[in-house]
Amino acid sequence: MHFDTRAIHAGYDPFDHFGAVNPPVFLSSTFAQASPGKHQGFEYARSGNPTRAALEGVLASLEEGEFACAFSSGLGATDSIIKLLNAGDHVVMADDVYGGTFRIFDKTFKRFGIDFTMVDTTDVRNVEKAITPKTKMLFVETPSNPLLKISDIEALCALARSRKVISVVDNTFATPYLQQPLNLGADIAMHSATKYLGGHSDVIAGACITRDPGLHERIKFNQNASGAVPGFLDCYMVHRGIKTLGIRMERACDNAEQVVSYLLEHKRVTKVHYPALEGHPNQAVAARQMKRYGAMIAFEINGSVADGERVVSGRRVWTLGESLGGVESLLEHPASMTHASIPKELRMKAGLNDGLIRLSCGIEAAEDLIADLEEGLSSY
């Protein structure tokens, strides 16, 4: 079946639940057992719940995996993935990952003896040089946050596989509609389902998908042991959002392309980051591994932190907020918001300048989005 059909029908059979078209929300923390250990597939909701199972079924289908775990947040998924490692292990990680990803590695797991090296993963040679005998995991975002760097998933995962390194691809920005890392050789695809999968800025959730039964069982064990499980209604909300993922992504990508054309002509914009543009790092790779180039844009102005804050403040159509992937268009200033937890010297080294602004295009009229940006860019 095609993607849009699976988004609506995969993972759930109405005739298993009295013909209900939508998966029921099972508000039960425990499940009756016929005898000790004899149950109907569920025993305690931290370990599993029918509403969650329906969501996990469609997640596995859309990423073309075999197994999926739904989490209470994207960082909950990241936490359980990192717990595949042991003290003394080493991770090679993209150098401009989401600030929360950097934080959990640097402030939490580093204290427990897990080391990491940040490199520019747009060049496979950088990753190859960073791998040591202690390297057990490669953690990549592509497109990355917020510079939209494109890494060659197929090449990187082939390298990881040859070195017996687990490859993890954060597919939040692209979504499985635009890119499917497992088909390109990744061991694990993960998401902040808060973003495009949920799609309506009304739920916090995460996801982790794999084809490897051993990895799945270990991730599932880590999740159950730590308790990073989504609520019953959260699962329902993400599942509902997924049903319109394809049409939302098409409209959002259309809007992004029009906004990029506008920004390229603006005299106060010094640089535009968008994977479709000639000269964008690995544009040819993006064309090969993505269906379209996405709805995320980053652009730079020649200004201070205060100038960047002035541009993003007071907008009428764009919503100033630390998220992305909703039906409403969002903008943010990484230096003072999502990436404020990264030390300035590391941020600047990675190209996250004070005048960098990130856009998440929603599904409003593109003309209104452009007019509102024009007002912001005229404010400093």
Q: Would you give the distance in Å from CA 217 to the centre of its chain?
A: 22
Instruction: Centre a 10 Å sphere on the Cβ of residue 224 and count the other Cβ atoms it contains.
Output: 16
46 is annotated as an active-site residue:
yes
Find the catalytic residue in 195, 211, 292, 315.
195
314, 319, 323, 329 alpha-carbon torsion, rounded to 10°:
-140
Taking the alpha carbons at both ends of the chain, their separation in whole angstroms is 51
Find the catalytic residue in 95, 170, 234, 372.
170
Query: Are 275 and 292 contacting, i.e. CB atoms less than 8 angstroms apart?
Result: no
Residue type for position 7: A
170 is annotated as an active-site residue:
yes
177 is annotated as an active-site residue:
no
- Separation CA 144–CA 121 (nearest Å): 10
Angle subtended by helix axes 232-242 and 50-62, to nearest 10:
30
Q: Which two tokens stand for residue 362?
A: 């929603």
Find the catalytic residue in 46, 161, 218, 291.
46
∠ CA(103), CA(245), CA(373), 5° rounding? Answer: 70
- Tokens 């940006």 locate to 373
Find the catalytic residue in 12, 52, 95, 98.
98
- Separation CA 377–CA 380 (nearest Å): 7
Q: Which two tokens stand for residue 182?
A: 């497992």
- Separation CA 324–CA 193 (nearest Å): 11
12 is annotated as an active-site residue:
no
Angle subtended by helix axes 213-226 and 74-82, to nearest 10:
110
Strand order in the sheet with 135-141: 67-71, 206-210, 188-192, 166-170, 135-141, 90-94, 115-119
Active site residues: 46, 98, 170, 195
